[in-house]
Amino acid sequence: MTVIHTIDDVNAPALGDIRAAGGEAVIRVRKSATERKDFAKYWEAVGVAFSRGAVVQVVNREEN
């Protein structure tokens, strides 16, 4: 079962959930996520998830 996590300027899952994501996860990072004060922490967590096999999508458009 694929789990989709979305990070944007208002909503984001817990950092631990992102770090623990693996091969069955998709992480969508929307452009607005860069406006978060804690974006650097999320970007680091996304890197951990990527190394664990998660698919990372950087979305330039604000669509679902």
Instruction: Give a yes or no: residue 46 inside a domain.
Output: yes
**Residue 61's pLDDT is what?**
73
Per-residue pLDDT of the chain (64 residues; tens, 9 = 90+): 899 999 999 999 999 999 999 999 999 999 999 999 999 999 999 999 999 999 999 998 765 5
Instruction: Give a yes or no: residue 44 inside a domain.
Output: yes
List the structure tokens of 59.
Answer: 């979305």
Instruction: Give a yes or no: residue 10 inside a domain.
Output: yes
**Virtual CA dihedral for 14, 19, 22, 25, nearest 10 degrees?**
30
Instruction: Give a yes or no: residue 45 inside a domain.
Output: yes
Instruction: Give a yes or no: residue 64 inside a domain.
Output: no
Q: Helices then strands (H, E): number in the chain?
A: 2, 3
**Residue 63's pLDDT is what?**
59
Question: How many domains are there within the chain?
Answer: 1
Instruction: Give a yes or no: residue 9 inside a domain.
Output: yes
**What is the domain extent for residue 32?**
3-59
Instruction: Give a yes or no: residue 11 inside a domain.
Output: yes
